Amino acid sequence: MSSYIFYTSILIFSTLSAYLYEKSLDYKRYIFYFFAFFIPFIFIAIRLNMGTDYSSYVDIFNEISNGKDLRIEYGYTLLNKLVQIVGLNVQWVFAIMGFFTIYYSYRSLPKDAFTIGVFLFITIYYFQGSYNQIRQGLAVAIMSYAFKYIYEKNILKYILYSVVSSLFHFPTAMILFFIYFIGNIRLNRFVMIAIVVVVFVAVEQHLIADYLKLFMSIFPSDYIDYLDGKFGSSNYSRYGMLMPFLQSLLSIIVFYNKDRVTAIYPQANILINLYLLYELFYLLHFEITIFNRLQYMFVFAFIISLLYFILSFNSRRRVIVLYILSLSYFLIFLRFIHNGSTTKVDSTHINPYKNIIFDKGDQ
């Protein structure tokens, strides 16, 4: 129970600070922004033995310290070396990575939807991008900030951020770099809806993995390991197709309203296009686990598309939509905490929360 209260407190106070930032007009707004940033950040910085990759990153830090040559991105290697040069420990690597992940995540959010943006960031991506897969989490946040340069057609700045992102997670940066050339196309909303329906049915009928295994059989057997995910092996296995259905229904509603949303916010066209990729990889990961990594490359397109979708309504309808989405993702947030218990198989190891101040004996 304490973990639910703890993480819910982070969510409430971060969102409240973001709200006060939006509503304040004087210097106080910067104080509220600081708290909206600091509250989720500090608990990333001082966490201990939490997240699926924590021990792996500790091992990397120690191996770099011992002079071992690792096949890992140059930027992350350099960060570890700089931390060691100034006499700091591995905890500072987690802190610095977490700081810049939140920094670029917040910079990606529309200013007129900052409050609900912070809420959705914490409920949807906070654990995945900051506690797990931290190299990819930072790369995704950097590239999500750079998405605006697709709309502005500023390829030089987009290349610059792609290079910076590649220093921490090369595959993510390269995949998202090529989005520049296709992200701004005009996709018909009914075609997008049809694609979601077809993929949903294919996943529900367990067709995807079978066809991919047949195709992959012509390659070395090692590649078959990527297809070992079983349908229903996700956190929502007890509920069968309920979560994929609800997520698909939400995407269909957003795609149906695409023309209205983009008429008000033209920059949303790129993000809604990428939301389609997010939705497809989200569905596919129920069949094949590896698609989970691809899904999170486009998570900010999903989050920001929802923000523009919410903003596109008039005040009365906006409140209704806001309440429905907030309640839904708060429940998912609680479910993620539950599934993060260290007593569960394939857990994300976020529950219970441990930190370097009170739990150092557990290291």
Query: Mind listing the pLDDT tens digit for each residue in 264-321?
Result: 999 999 999 999 999 999 998 888 777 888 899 999 999 999 999 999 999 889 999 9
Torsions phi, psi of 83, nearest 5?
A: -60, -40
What's the pLDDT score for residue 232? 38
Number of neighbours of residue 219 by Cβ within 10 angstroms? 9
Task: Give yes or no: residues 91 and 177 share one domain.
Answer: yes
- Mean pLDDT, rounded, for 220-224: 50
Task: Give yes or no: residues 126 and 243 share one domain.
Answer: no
Task: Give yes or no: residues 173 and 228 share one domain.
Answer: no
pTM of the shown model = 0.89
What's the pLDDT score for residue 97? 95
Tokens 């987690």 appear where? 94
What's the pLDDT score for residue 345? 52
The parent domain of residue 33 ranges over 1-181+329-363
Residue 41 falls within a domain, yes or no?
A: yes
Task: Give yes or no: residues 12 and 83 share one domain.
Answer: yes
Residue 319 falls within a domain, yes or no?
A: no
> Cα angle at 122 between 116 and 125, to 5 degrees?
115
More confident residue, 226 or 146: 146
Residue 324 falls within a domain, yes or no?
A: no
More confident residue, 342 or 357: 357
Task: Give yes or no: residues 134 and 19 share one domain.
Answer: yes
* Range ranked top by mean pLDDT from 49-53, 185-189, 218-222, 291-295: 185-189
What's the pLDDT score for residue 110? 92
Task: Give yes or no: residues 174 and 212 share one domain.
Answer: no
Both tokens assigned to 285: 């990961």
Residue 318 falls within a domain, yes or no?
A: no
Task: Give yes or no: residues 108 and 25 share one domain.
Answer: yes
- Where does residue 125 rank: exposed (0-12), middle (13-18), buried (19+ CB within 10 A)? buried
Is the pLDDT reported for residue 323 higher than 90?
Answer: yes
Q: How far is CA 266 from CA 184, 259, 304, in A?
A: 10, 9, 13
Find out whether 343 and 354 touch, Cβ atoms under 8 Å.
Answer: no
Which tens digits make up the pLDDT trace of 224-262?
555 554 433 443 454 567 888 999 999 999 999 999 999
Cis peptide before 352, with omega less than 30 degrees from 0? Answer: yes
Residue 123 falls within a domain, yes or no?
A: yes
What's the pLDDT score for residue 229? 45
Q: How far is CA 163 from CA 128, 156, 173, in A?
A: 23, 11, 7
Is the pLDDT reported for residue 68 higher than 60?
Answer: yes
Task: Give yes or no: residues 204 and 283 share one domain.
Answer: yes
Task: Give yes or no: residues 334 and 305 share one domain.
Answer: no
Structural domain total, the chain: 2
Closest by CA to 51, choosing from 147, 155, 132, is: 132
Residue 3 falls within a domain, yes or no?
A: yes
Is the pLDDT reported for residue 50 higher than 70?
Answer: yes
Closest by CA to 351, choosing from 180, 101, 135, 127, is: 127
Find out whether 173 and 139 touch, Cβ atoms under 8 Å.
Answer: yes
Task: Give yes or no: residues 154 and 246 share one domain.
Answer: no
More confident residue, 339 or 155: 155
> How far, in Å, CA of 292 to CA of 306, rounded?
20
Torsions phi, psi of 351, nearest 5?
A: -135, 120
Task: Give yes or no: residues 38 and 152 share one domain.
Answer: yes
Find out whether 164 and 76 touch, Cβ atoms under 8 Å.
Answer: no
pLDDT, the chain, mean? 87
What's the pLDDT score for residue 27? 85
